[in-house]
Amino acid sequence: MTQATGRLIDGNALSKQLRAEVAQRAAALKARGITPGLAVILVGDNPASQVYVRNKVKACEDSGLHSVLEKYEAGMSEAALLARIDALNRDPAIHGILVQLPLPAHIDAHKVIEAISPAKDVDGFHVASAGALMVGQPGFWPCTPYGCMKMLESIGYDLKGKHAVVIGRSNIVGKPMALMLLQQNATVTICHSATKDLKAMTLQADVIVAAVGKRKVLTADMVKPGAVVIDVGMNRNEEGKLCGDVDFEGVKQVAGWITPVPGGVGPMTITMLLVNTMEAAERVAAA
Ligand code: NAP
């Protein structure tokens, strides 16, 4: 697998393929009278969140899923939001519910996520979903690490016995990523801001997943030749251009495989949201 420069794992191309599969599954379910439906809730006017929800709704429509975007003013009360979620939990036309984060400070995001029915938790953030992943039971996997797993699968990478180093331990990326890699029989190391010698860890890795949110956390001297490097980070460089956590130009000279930013993990995250929504609808249809 070692080569002079890393081969790209193209998140756009893989997304296109997976979204075509979702569209086929959606059409098959529709033929049985069920249209998979996703409700997206946005509270407030955070500009980045507005772009994210628009992209999610458009992706649903493009794949033949029904989507409802509910926008509320930043002053919406927590009680009103919980009441909306309760109504959506009981709405048979809705199979997935996504509350775009961050929420305004007066709303307890944890309480809101816990109010979503685990059967409709297509973001995979509910404690029940996290628990299901932990014990290897069916549930919904958080979309970003799930997308990373699909990228590894797409290159036919066998994780068994490999050493995977995850940089970052958030509940939405780092921790679930580590559990998914573990489930595929990798030996997993989780690094974070208190890790003493990050380079000593990453140099041992066959697979590195960087999920930090800081540019150039991973540079070429920190990567074993031939390693697979997955870059989850989303940052801006001096020119305001989107970039990841990985020094892409340097690391691609050493890595066996590498994901670009943009065009890597980003599109996969939305794709896995569609996959989870599809799965939620299919589970209802099978019940
Ligand atoms: P987060 O909650 O801020 O977590 C960042 C993690 O990085 C923390 O665990 C932190 O450690 C660790 N960290 C910080 N500085 C470090 C350092 N110097 N060395 C090692 N570890 C360090 O962020 P997140 O939500 O997981 O997201 C991470 C990045 O992925 C962000 O850039 C975000 O925008 C991006 N992201 C992208 C997508 C996508 O679709 N592409 C989706 C989600 C997130 P401590 O726990 O010790 O603080």
- 154 with 230, same domain? yes
Residue 129 forms part of a structural domain: no
Rounded CA-CA distance 60/7 in Å is: 30
If you measure from the C-alpha of residue 266 to the centroid of ligand 1, how many angstroms do you get, rounded to a whole number? 14
Ligand 1 pocket test, pick from 150, 175, 212, 269 with the greatest ligand atom count within 8 Å of Cβ, gives 212
Cα of 212 vs centre of ligand 1, distance in Å, is 3
246, 258 Cβ separation under 8 angstroms: yes
- The burial class, CB within 10 Å (0-12 / 13-18 / 19+), for 87 is exposed
Facing residues of 66 across strands? Answer: 37
- The set of protein residues with a Cβ atom below 6 angstroms from ligand 1 is 144, 167-170, 172-174, 191-195, 198, 211-214, 217, 232-235, 265-266, 269
Considering the domain architecture, whether residues 155 and 93 belong to the same structural domain is answered as no
Ligand 1 centroid, distance to 234 Cα (angstroms): 9
Residue 206 and residue 147 share a domain: yes
State pLDDT tens for residues 70-129.
Answer: 999 999 999 999 999 999 999 999 999 999 999 999 999 999 999 999 999 999 999 999
Domain harbouring 69, CATH code? 3.40.50.10860
Centre of ligand 1 to C-alpha 29, Å, is: 37
From the DSSP assignment, how many helices (H) and strands (E) are in the chain?
10, 11
Whether 262 is covered by a domain: the verdict is yes
φ and ψ at 20, to 5 degrees?
Answer: -65, -40
Last residue within a domain, chosen from 101, 117, 133: 117
In a domain, 168, yes or no: yes
pLDDT 10s digits, 58-77? 999 999 999 999 999 999 99
User: For residue 160, what are the domain limits?
Assistant: 142-266
- CA–CA separation, 12 and 169 (whole Å): 26
Same domain, residue pair 240 and 190 = yes
pLDDT at residue 4, rounded to an integer: 59
Catalytic residues: 56, 100, 123
For residue 164, give the CATH number of its domain.
Answer: 3.40.50.720
Its pTM stands at 0.97
Please choose from 14, 149, 173 the residue to mutate so as to test ligand 1's pocket, defined by most ligand atoms within 8 A of CB: 173
Return the pLDDT at 2: 43
State whether 217 and 254 are in the same domain: yes
**Which residue has the least CA distance to atom 5 on ligand 1?**
212
Residue 61 lies in a domain: yes
Structural domain count of the chain: 2
> Which residue in 70, 13, 5 sits closest to 251, CA to CA?
5
Low-confidence ranges of the chain (pLDDT < 50): 1-3
| Nearest Cα residue to atom 42 of ligand 1 | 144
pLDDT of residue 6: 81
User: What is the distance of C-alpha 64 from the center of its chain?
Assistant: 21
Does one domain contain both 147 and 244? yes
Same domain, 163 and 85: no
